[in-house]
A and B are shown apart, each in its own frame.
Chain A
Amino acid sequence: MAERKIKVIIAKPGLDGHDRGAKVVARALVEAGMEVVYLGLQQTPETIVGAAVEEDADVIGLSILSGAHMTNFRKVRELMVGAGLGDRLLTGGGIIPTKDQDKLKELGVGRVFGPGDDLQDIVDYIRRNARRTSK
């Protein structure tokens, strides 16, 4: 009996190689029973959303520590809506100041996580908020 698994894409857009957080979160999500497509480094919003389409992903998670979060989240969100993935969860983590987090919410981005956030909280959040279109 096939069960529905939550499919998550984890990616790092732009030029930043610090992937410790992304890898740890990816692993925690796998341990929690999710199917995680790890796209890795130097992704562009286009490659990320292109993969999300092919994978029919429920969740896109971006890891951004470089300060370029507004640019990247905005662009990914735009592309998601354009590709028909507007109802999927866009989340992520890294170094994102609180006031920018508010701006991101207005764009339709979900909660974002930062240094010190508990892994279990992240897993629970994704599990509760991963969205699926109905057939």
Chain B
Amino acid sequence: MSSIQESLWADFFAGGRLACARLITAVENDPDALPEILDRIIPAQRGGFRIGVTGPPGVGKSTVTAALARRAVRAGHAVGILAVDPTSPFSGGAFLGDRIRMQDLGDGRRVFIRSMASRDGHGGLSPATRYAADVLDAFGLDRIFIETVGVGQAELDVIGCSDLVVLVLQPGTGDIIQALKAGIIEAADLVLVNKSDLQGTEALLESLRFMMDIRPVRKDRPFPRVLEASALLDRGMDEAAAEVERLIGDCVGSGRHREKRLHRLEQEIRSAIQRWLWEDFAALAGADESIRAVAEELLSAGRSPYSYIRETCSRVRVGFRDERAARGKEA
């Protein structure tokens, strides 16, 4: 079991950037240290807003993120950016090429940029991304941009991680809407059509409007606004940034922000318990090897696995039953 040295915590809470970076490394690499890290960080969080930026590859997410971040800094916020790039399933390595497009953020002290590889995030976000955002929140950053890979699961993962989702699209790439996963457009809080100087902007805006007309009305909030911009030419980004701030205000005021944080907490509890129980169970029962052996047998015999599953689980439940019985006696 490894632990974080007190001196590192002291540095972190004093605003040490390397300490912050090292904590992010710890949440990426050391799942055993996670509980103790979260124990210390969560009380220190100040409600930093997580803004997810997602969309298909090549639409200019990094440039958009940089443009929004620049304006957040100018408005006096302390800004963090988590830029996630895919881990190669073959080599296990990753080319982290987002921050190169974010070089011009003015005051380096008010922005903290960290590149992350998606690791075993199944093509989506790194599982550590949400914890990295927690670290940045505790560090005192109040606007945390999470920029995703934009393929596969990532777009949906980012919804779980973020308080607000900006979906970036670009014109002229064929049937972009069909290509997007069902769910992402509904989950977006703002749709930004980037590279609006290119041909096909009108057509894309039309498709978006049409799409929103034929979907059932969202229960909890209105459809996202659709804005056009060119992050590279620095056009339309003031409006986009203003809309983001307005949405943030709404989100807090309506209680949605609290809902999201609640949901993330619940998720953490569920997934951690699932993980830990499984790990304990696997350790006790030698699960991986015995499951493989059982599966071999079942396959040859052509039988269903459910008797095995029931029997295994009941062995675990013995422990629970005893505890319930004990509690029942107290009641």
A contacting B, Cβ–Cβ less than 8 Å: yes
* Residues of chain A having any CB pair with chain B under 8 Å: 1-5, 26-27, 29-40, 47, 50-51, 53-56, 83-85, 133, 135
Would you call B4 and A135 a contact (CB within 8 A)?
yes
CA distance A16 to B280 in the complex (A): 55
- Asked if A47 and B103 sit within 8 Å, CB to CB, the answer is yes
How far is the CB of A52 from the nearest CB of chain B, in Å?
9
Please indicate the chain B residues that have their CB under 8 angstroms from the CB of A83 in the complex: 18
Give the number of A-B contacts (CB < 8 Å): 88
Taking CB atoms, residues of chain B closer than 8 Å to A39 are: 99-100
Instruction: Establish whether residues A4 and B29, one from each chain, have CB atoms under 8 Å apart when the complex forms.
Output: yes
- Is B22 an interface residue, CB under 8 A from the partner? yes
B31 contacts across to A, CB distance below 8 A:
1-2
A83 to B20, alpha carbons, bound, how many Å? Answer: 13
Interface residues on B, range: 35 or more
A4 to B, closest residue via Cβ: B29
Least distance between B141 CB and chain A CB atoms (Å) = 12
Most A CB contacts (10 A, CB to CB) among B33, B96, B113, B128 go to B96
Chain B 76-101 per-residue mask, 1 if CB under 8 angstroms from chain A, else 0: 00000000000010011111110110
Contacts of B92 in A (CB 8 A): 3, 5, 33
B95 A27 Cβ-Cβ under 8 A: yes
Nearest CB in chain A: distance from B215 CB, A:
38
Bound state CA distance, A118 and B108, in angstroms?
Answer: 37
**Does the CB pair A35–B18 fall under 8 Å?**
no
Name the B residues within 8 Å of A26 (CB-CB): 95
Is B94's CB under 8 angstroms from A135's CB? no
A38 near B96 (CB under 8 angstroms)?
yes
Q: Distance (Å) between the CB of A88 and the closest chain B CB?
A: 11
Do A34 and B93 form a contact, CB below 8 Å, given A39-B100, A56-B21, A135-B4? yes
B189 within 8 A of A: no
- Chain B residues with Cβ under 8 A from A27's Cβ? 95
Known: A35-B115, A38-B97, A51-B99. 15 other contacts (CB 8 A): A2-B31, A2-B119, A3-B92, A4-B29, A27-B95, A33-B92, A36-B93, A37-B115, A38-B96, A39-B100, A53-B21, A55-B21, A55-B115, A133-B22, A135-B2
**B residues apposed to A, CB below 8 Å:** 2-5, 8, 17-18, 21-22, 24-26, 28-31, 33, 88, 91-97, 99-100, 103, 108, 112-115, 117, 119-120, 127-128
Judge whether B21 and A38 touch: CB under 8 Å: no
Q: Does B93 contact A31, Cβ atoms closer than 8 Å?
A: yes
Query: How far, in whole Å, are A36 and B30 apart by their CA atoms in the complex?
Result: 20
Instruction: Please name all residues of chain B whose beta carbon is closer than 8 Å to the beta carbon of A1 when the two chains form the complex.
Output: 31
Q: In the complex, which residues of chain A have a beta carbon less than 8 angstroms from the beta carbon of B25?
A: 56
How far in angstroms is the closest Cβ of chain B from A84?
5
Q: Which of B5, B33, B96, B127 contacts A36 (CB 8 A)?
A: B96
**CA distance in complex: A29, B95 (Å):** 9
* Nearest chain A residue, comparing its CB with the CB of B28: A2
Instruction: Give the chain A neighbours of B21 by CB distance below 8 A.
Output: 53-56
